[in-house]
């Protein structure tokens, strides 16, 4: 067997597009104090954002 395999290189490694740098995970709209506290915890981390899109969907 040959060991001439190329090292793994992620397909987006050199891409500057947002789709290669960011992800958004859908979440239910918070309705309780505990759910809002969870969002505050998410937002306490660097580079984490919560947003509502134009269809009123919630994302983190």
Residue 18 lies in a domain: no
pLDDT tens for 15-40 read 777 777 788 999 999 999 999 999 99
Residue 30 lies in a domain: yes
Residue 15 lies in a domain: no
Which domain, by its residues, includes 42? 23-59
Residue 53 lies in a domain: yes
At 2, the pLDDT band (50, 70, 90 cuts) reads low
CA 15/CA 45 separation, integer angstroms: 25
Residue 8 lies in a domain: no
CA 44/CA 37 separation, integer angstroms: 11
pLDDT, position 3: 63
Place of tokens 């597009």: 17
Given phi > 0 = left and psi -120 to 50 = alpha, else beta, which region is 56? left
CA 57/CA 42 separation, integer angstroms: 17
Q: For the chain, how many structural domains are there in total?
A: 1
pLDDT, position 58: 98
pLDDT, position 17: 76
């Amino acid at each position: 067997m040959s060991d001439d395999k190329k090292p793994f290189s992620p397909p987006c490694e050199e891409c500057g597009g947002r789709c290669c740098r960011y992800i958004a995970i859908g979440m239910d709209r918070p309705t309780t104090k505990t759910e809002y506290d969870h969002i505050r915890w998410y937002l306490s981390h660097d580079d984490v954002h919560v947003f509502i899109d134009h269809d009123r969907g919630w994302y983190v």
